[in-house]
Chains A and B, each alone.
Chain A
Amino acid sequence: MKALCWHGANDVRVDNVPDPKILNRRDAILKITSTAICGSDLHLYNGFIPSMQSGDIMGHEFMGEIVELGSAVKNFSIGDRVVVPFTIACGNCFSCNRNLWSLCDNSNPNAFMAEALYGYSAAGLFGYSHIFGGYAGGQAEYVRVPFADTGLLKIPDELTDEQVLFLTDIFPTGYMAAENCNIKPGDTVAVWGCGPVGQFAIKSAYLLGAERVIAIDRVPERLKMAKEQSGAEVINYEEIDPGEALKEMTGGRGPDSCIDAVGLEAHGTGLDSLYDQAKQSVRLETDRPTALRQILVACGKGGTVSIPGVYGGVIDKLPIGAAFNKGLTLKMGQTHVHNYLRPLLEHIQKGDIDPSYVITHRMKLDDAPKGYEIFKHKKQDCIKIVLTP
């Protein structure tokens, strides 16, 4: 089959590779019908996530048709059209039982690697390096899905791929980011980053009752989308300091909560000093927390900071004093996608939201390498790319 494979930083290629096969009784094999490129993939593309190996298949946002089932999967049939959460979860462990699906105890075969870095291992992820399990991703013609009986969501025929594809990750991610803000009537939510995750965080903050949402980025078309699609007020951080602007816009109180939808490759005031020791011992590049630093200072007293943006390692000069002295609450983590599949599918079915509005580019899997370049450099006003095999 054809698959988009990582060969090094800024080097991805469509290779011919053997088809995946069932390895465990709870597995399924899907024939991919649609798959997307995520901001998280850019962290791999840019070489910021360690433990990738040349030839690894990328992609964690995908859906398709079941073509093969392991003997223990009884609740799905061949031919079912399904979406797949990017977090792999067993449904049986203590974490899964508490709905902390992205923290599943049992889905990472390389848990020892994650333990060395993080003390304990979270769930395995599709196409997201060997620390997170080394599972082949779904930017391919076929993919193997472990614990298929627990993760898959069957999609009604009347919905198109584009309407439901983002249930795999970015819609739930934006939604959980907003939910973590614990929004109360009258609240102002500030969202750093207007990529796809930021866009859904903005939409979801309104769905959850925010009075105002203020979106921060520097890319004009992304700010425009936040304004036109969701009704957000916008700040271009290259034109004005977001901290000061937010203070003025909120009557001097500051936002009630802030969302970091930027993550470890924030653009901005440049890299701070590198932690050579950390790099040596865990071979991690230092994360760039420019947005997070701004957020901790800009957030109002008693506020909540919600971090869907991915961090992998060690960060420098985090103004923890700002967080401490304002009594901030910090919430973060990979999304517990399984929790949101059904409720968000309902929102889509009722017409509250059509997530396909973030799509700017539709391409063939063969052109994925070009897609990565376009998405990375935000060429052609690119916001979200959907690939079809």
Chain B
Amino acid sequence: METEISKINQPEQTQESLSDHERWASIIGGSAMVLMGLQQRSLRGVLTAIAGGSLAYHGATADKSLTDKVADAVGINKSIKVEKTVTINKSAAELYEYWHNFENLPTFMKHVRSVQVIDMRRSHWVANAPMGQTVEWDADIINDQPNQLIAWASIEGASVDNSGFVRFTPAPDDRGTEVKVVMEYDMPGGMVTAAIAKLFGEEPEQQIGDELRRFKQLMETGEIATTEGQPRG
């Protein structure tokens, strides 16, 4: 499958010959399956590479700590990569607008306790970890295309290394807007690993799928379908 990511995924020389603009355009124009095109590469690597030299990120090439190396060796140093798509019966503009205010995200993202928008670019995230704990990090918007795409990545040195994008594409005919979320959480090894591993419970795919579904419910019906709080099932 010749996807835009497989283009991005080519050797360094070819990559350099693509302009940042073209690379983003290919993500926005979008194939159906983003992660499949990524294969072994990290989403963060791809996103930050195409975000260009404007931001310096602690990438895969940086020196690894001893714990990371041990984690690598025993194979627990795995990142969580999730790709989910849902079609929502609303215009791309309405959906983009709601999502773009990151402080709205905890309304439908269960793993996020709060987001505080610091400025146009930076936001502070607090996520629920097991046993009442929280994990926090700062993230930057690394690309923002009105009504089409928002991409973000945690800043260098953040305790939780994550990145992702949400893409809004009009669906055929009267079918609304296809909303694709691609997210990656990297397991750094060491202290916070266990906490992050549990951030999404046992099934990160399902959790993020559910969060996207709640976004759909909220946008289409004005509320999130629930039985939480009913005395009996």
Instruction: Report which A residues bind B (CB closer than 8 A).
Output: 3, 5, 17-21, 23-26, 53, 55-57, 72, 90-94, 97, 105-109, 111-112, 115, 124, 130, 133-136, 144, 146-147
A109 and B230 contact, Cβ closer than 8 Å, known pairs A92-B220, A94-B87, A94-B89: no
Closest A residue to B205 using CB positions: A112
- Cα A21 to Cα B230 in complex, Å, equals 7
A134 and B222 contact, Cβ closer than 8 Å, known pairs A17-B232, A57-B232, A105-B216: no
B61 on the A face (CB < 8 A):
no
Place the interface of chain B in its size category: 20 to 34
Query: Are the C-beta atoms of A97 and B89 separated by less than 8 Å?
Result: yes
Closest A residue to B210 using CB positions: A112
Closest B residue to A111 using CB positions: B213
- Distance (whole angstroms) from the CB of A237 to the closest CB of chain B: 37
Q: Is the interface of A mostly helix, strand, loop or mixed?
A: loop
Query: Are the C-beta atoms of A24 and B233 separated by less than 8 Å?
Result: no
Query: Are the C-beta atoms of A3 and B232 separated by less than 8 Å?
Result: yes
- Cα A106 to Cα B216 in complex, Å, equals 8
User: Which one of B213, B220, B232 contacts A56 once the chains associate, using CB atoms below 8 Å?
Assistant: B232
- CB contacts (< 8 Å) of A55 on chain B: these are 232-233
Q: Mark B146-179, 1 if CB is under 8 A from A, else 0.
A: 0000000000000000000000000000011000
B75 on the A face (CB < 8 A):
no
Closest B residue to A52 using CB positions: B233
B227 on the A face (CB < 8 A):
yes
Query: Are the C-beta atoms of B225 and A57 separated by less than 8 Å?
Result: no
Q: Could you jot down 12 A-B contacts, CB within 8 Å?
A: A3-B232, A17-B231, A17-B232, A20-B231, A24-B225, A55-B233, A92-B221, A93-B220, A94-B87, A94-B89, A109-B225, A111-B213
- CB contacts (< 8 Å) of B175 on chain A: these are 94
Query: Are the C-beta atoms of B226 and A136 separated by less than 8 Å?
Result: no
Instruction: Report which B residues bind A (CB closer than 8 A).
Output: 87, 89, 175-176, 206, 209-210, 213, 216-217, 220-233
Nearest first, the 3 closest Cβ-Cβ pairs linking A and B are: A18-B231, A56-B233, A134-B233
- Distance (whole angstroms) from the CB of A114 to the closest CB of chain B: 11
- Cα A133 to Cα B228 in complex, Å, equals 11
Query: Are the C-beta atoms of B228 and A23 separated by less than 8 Å?
Result: yes
A57 and B216 contact, Cβ closer than 8 Å, known pairs A92-B89, A109-B226: no
- CB contacts (< 8 Å) of B226 on chain A: these are 23-24, 109
Most buried by A among B87, B220, B232: B232
Closest A residue to B209 using CB positions: A112
- CB contacts (< 8 Å) of B221 on chain A: these are 26, 90-93, 106, 147
- Distance (whole angstroms) from the CB of B95 to the closest CB of chain A: 14
Most buried by B among A91, A109, A134: A109
- Distance (whole angstroms) from the CB of B159 to the closest CB of chain A: 29
- CB contacts (< 8 Å) of B229 on chain A: these are 21, 23
- Distance (whole angstroms) from the CB of B115 to the closest CB of chain A: 23
- Distance (whole angstroms) from the CB of A34 to the closest CB of chain B: 21
User: Which one of A5, A53, A90, A136 contacts B220 once the chains associate, using CB atoms below 8 Å?
Assistant: A90
Q: Is the interface of B mostly helix, strand, loop or mixed?
A: loop
- CB contacts (< 8 Å) of B220 on chain A: these are 90, 92-93, 105-106
Query: Are the C-beta atoms of A112 and B225 separated by less than 8 Å?
Result: no
A24 and B216 contact, Cβ closer than 8 Å, known pairs A57-B233, A134-B233: no
A136 and B225 contact, Cβ closer than 8 Å, known pairs A94-B89, A105-B216, A112-B206: no
Query: Are the C-beta atoms of B231 and A19 separated by less than 8 Å?
Result: yes
- Distance (whole angstroms) from the CB of A16 to the closest CB of chain B: 11
- Cα A304 to Cα B176 in complex, Å, equals 33
- Cα A135 to Cα B217 in complex, Å, equals 17
- CB contacts (< 8 Å) of A108 on chain B: these are 225
Most buried by B among A5, A17, A18, A24: A24
- Cα A182 to Cα B6 in complex, Å, equals 50
- Cα A24 to Cα B218 in complex, Å, equals 11
- Cα A348 to Cα B131 in complex, Å, equals 57
- Cα A259 to Cα B210 in complex, Å, equals 36
- CB contacts (< 8 Å) of A109 on chain B: these are 225-228
- CB contacts (< 8 Å) of A106 on chain B: these are 216-217, 220-221, 225
- Cα A20 to Cα B233 in complex, Å, equals 10
Closest A residue to B223 using CB positions: A24
Closest B residue to A121 using CB positions: B213
- Distance (whole angstroms) from the CB of B194 to the closest CB of chain A: 24
Query: Are the C-beta atoms of A53 and B217 separated by less than 8 Å?
Result: no
A136 and B233 contact, Cβ closer than 8 Å, known pairs A106-B225, A147-B221: yes
- Distance (whole angstroms) from the CB of B65 to the closest CB of chain A: 36
User: Which one of B176, B210, B231 contacts A94 once the chains associate, using CB atoms below 8 Å?
Assistant: B176
Query: Are the C-beta atoms of A136 and B230 separated by less than 8 Å?
Result: yes
- CB contacts (< 8 Å) of A134 on chain B: these are 227, 233
Query: Are the C-beta atoms of B222 and A26 separated by less than 8 Å?
Result: yes
- CB contacts (< 8 Å) of A112 on chain B: these are 206, 209-210, 213
- Cα A3 to Cα B176 in complex, Å, equals 41
Closest B residue to A53 using CB positions: B233
Closest B residue to A134 using CB positions: B233
- CB contacts (< 8 Å) of B225 on chain A: these are 24, 90, 106-109, 124, 133, 146
- CB contacts (< 8 Å) of B230 on chain A: these are 20-21, 23, 135-136, 144
- CB contacts (< 8 Å) of B228 on chain A: these are 23, 109
- CB contacts (< 8 Å) of A130 on chain B: these are 233
- Distance (whole angstroms) from the CB of B14 to the closest CB of chain A: 38
Closest B residue to A3 using CB positions: B232
- CB contacts (< 8 Å) of A92 on chain B: these are 89, 220-221
- Distance (whole angstroms) from the CB of A36 to the closest CB of chain B: 20
